[in-house]
Structure 1
Amino acid sequence: MIVKKNLSLKAIFRFAGQHLIWLLPWMLVVPALYYFTHWKFLTIPLLPLSLVGTAVAFYVGFKNNQSYDRVWEARKIWGAIVNDSRKLATLIKNYRAEKISVSAEGARTRKEVVHRHIAYLYQLREQLLRPTQWEHVSLSGIFGSYNQRRRDRFFNNFKQELDEVAERPYLSEEELQSLNGFNNRAAQLLDKQTQSVQALYDIKEINWMQQSDLQSVLNSFYNEQGKAERIKNFPFPRKYASFSFVFVCIFVFLLPFGMVGEFAKLGDGMIWLSVPVSVIIGFVYVVMELIGDYSENPFEGLHNDIPMLAICRTIEIDMLQMMGEKDIPRPVQPKEGILL
């Protein structure tokens, strides 16, 4: 997630600057041909070009709105996970049955529930970051490798924080081994949480109503995980997304033919002024398309993503402090204007 108020020119160029490599030559070819050959058929009236541009702008704008909805829904899901995680910590810490004091077994089980939940959060993050075939990091060719390098750079910037996650053993070796062979380890961890809550009830640490409350909170994690997996595993409708790209390409292709005719009316020397104007207009449309395109997938590890590492760390800190533990990790801080 980008956390700076304004993007620098360097950041803008990193995001979309490579498209100037093909925009500038194309916007230069048509005026050059017209200037040296005086072929009048190279021009098209501005009115049909304006109609195409207006239609494309509406189409891309609507697509961007729908793409943003996917990002915002993903953020609401993780916001609900934050709230429910705090509920789980305070309930598992404070709920009692008839007993006044907590037994050693009960204290151990309560601590295991909190630690297992932290492990669950990081496991869920890891599962959501697995690339799908329609995401940018899975593309073949130059753009796929470029986005893979971009993702690797983000992860390398947070290598220390990621290493800290790996070094904190919230699960025992036995429990880790028991997860082998499962496709959805996060769901299996939630199942183990239910077993632990049942164990607290069996030893009379909590009563049936408290058990029901705790299970209700655990069920909410199933719901939120399912919502996140729906966004992850159901792509933005590909025809809708692909035709947006096609329409932008058509408009950019026609753009120099319309602009050169308009500037030719001002004199032969003014034809060359159509080059920078066309590049600017074309770049605006290309960037609009890119913004929507990169907002479709909020769980692929790029700059528009939900900052799941920072959210998981926030929950981890809150839960450990609620349980009175002293070994508390530090919050994740943005690096180069990006929060992972």
Structure 2
Amino acid sequence: MITTKYFNYKQVLHLAGAHLIWLTCWCTLVVALFYFFDWEWMVIPWIPVALVGTAVAFFVGFKNNQAYDRLWEARKIWGSIVNSSRSFSSMIYAFTTENGDSDRLNIKRKEIVYRHIAWLYTFREQLLVPTEWEHISLTRHFGAVNQKRHRLIKAGFPDYGRTLLFQRKYLSEEEFNLQSEYKNFATYLISKQAKEINDLKNNNYISDFNQMQLQTCLNEFYEHQGRAERIKKFPSPRQFANTGFILIVIFIILLPLGLVNEFARLGVWGLWTCIPFCVVVGWLYIVMELVGDYSENPFAGLMFDIPMLSICRTIEIDLLQMMGEEDLPDPILSKQGVLV
């Protein structure tokens, strides 16, 4: 998540700077052919180009709106996880019966809260696994150049080893070693929580009604997880996501052909000023396209993502304080204007 008020020039260039090269080459080629070879036959009227540009703008606006909905839904999901986590842990420590003062209950409470923290980091790691349609997986078009570009625009690429450290800290050795047996380890951890809470009820540490309330909270975690996985595993429909860029390229190809004759009326110098104007207009359309393109995948591990690590750390600190622990980790701070 970008935390600065504005994009800095480096972020803008890393996002769309490479497109300035081919835009400049194409616009310069059109103007040069018109000026040196007097190819007036390639000029087209401006009105149809303007109509195409208007249609493309509506299409890109629709796509960006859908991309923002995916991004905002992802943020609401993690906001709900924050609220549900606090409610779950507070209920764990508030609910009790006549057997509620036993040392075994306190140990179980700590295990349940620790397991929930491990679930947070495990779930985050699972969401950060790249899919084939995310930008972080694109290497087929530009090879090493494309990989370098994405290393520049991403900030704080997920450290999977660090997630394992959290799991070792908050899970028992037996549970930690079970990861290889489950394709969705986060789901297993919630099911394990349900069994532990049911054992508390069977041992009369909590009442039946308390167990129902805690199970309802666990069901909410399943719901939050499922909603986030739906966004992660179901891409924005390709017929919308890819068509937008194709239409923009068509518009950019037509743009200098429609403007060169208009600028030629201003004289020789006016003709050559057509190049920067066409580049700026075309680049604006490309930036609009890229903003939506990068926003439609909020769990891709890039600087446009939901700051899941920061949210997990905030929840971790809150839950540890509820348990009365004093050795608290430091909050995650933004680096170079990006919070992960």
TM superposition score normalised by structure 2: 0.95
Conserved 8 A contact 2:14-2:149: no
Match in the other structure for 2:197 = 197
Work out the percentage of aligned pairs sharing the same amino acid.
50
The yes-or-no answer on 1:178 pairing with 2:173 is: no
Q: How far apart, in 2, do the equivalents of 1:148 and 1:110 lie? A: 43
Equivalent position amino acid for 1:292 in 2: G
Which residue in the other structure is 2:40 paired with?
A: 40
SS in 2 for 1:337: coil
Q: CA RMSD in A?
A: 1.7
- Residue matched to 1:104: 103
* CA 1:164–1:235: 2 relative to 1, 3 Å: closer
Deviation, 1:144, is: 4.9
Residues 174 and 164 from structure 1, CA distance in 2 versus in 1: closer, same or farther, beyond 3 angstroms?
Answer: closer
SS in 2 for 1:332: coil
Give the corresponding residue for 2:212: 212
- For residue 274 of structure 1, what is the aligned residue in structure 2? 274
Indicate the residue corresponding to 1:115 in structure 2. 114
Q: 1:190 to 1:147 in 2, by over 3 A?
A: farther
1:146 & 1:200 partners in 2: Cα distance? 52
- Following the alignment from structure 2 to structure 1, what is the Cα–Cα distance between the partners of residues 210 and 265? 80
Answer yes or no: is the 8 Å Cα contact 1:136–1:147 preserved in 2: no
Q: Give 1:41-56 correspondences, 5 Å limit.
A: 41-56=41-56
Q: Which residue of 1 aligns with 2:255?
A: 255
Any unmatched runs of 5+ in structure 2? Answer: none
Equivalents in 2 of 1:164, 1:280: separation in Å? Answer: 43
Are 2:222 and 1:222 aligned? yes
Residues 1-340 of structure 1: matches in 2 within 5 Å?
Answer: 1-99=1-99, 101-139=100-138, 140-142=140-142, 144-146=146-148, 148-150=150-152, 154-155=155-156, 163=162, 166=165, 169-340=169-340
- What's the secondary structure of 1:141's corresponding residue? coil
Unaligned runs of 5+ in 1: none
SS in 2 for 1:206: coil
Rounded to whole Å, the distance in 1 between the matches of 2:161 and 2:152 is 17
Query: Which residue type is aligned with residue 117 of structure 1?
Result: H
Give the deviation of 1:149 after TM superposition. 2.1
1:147–1:106 distance in 2 versus 1, CA, 3 Å: farther
TM-score, structure 1 as length reference: 0.95
For the residue of structure 1 that corresponds to 2:266, the secondary structure is coil
Letter in 2 for 1:193: Q
Partner SS for 1:298 = coil
Superposed CA offset, 1:72-116 (max 9, x none): 0000000000000000110001110233x4211111110001000
SS at 2:221 equivalent:
helix
1:15 offset after TM fit, Å? 1.4
Deviation at 1:199, TM superposition (A): 1.5
For the residue of structure 1 that corresponds to 2:155, the secondary structure is helix
Q: CA deviation at 1:180?
A: 2.1
Counterparts of 1:106 and 1:147 in 2: how far apart (Å)?
Answer: 52
Contact (CA 8 Å) 2:121, 2:163: kept in 1 or not?
no
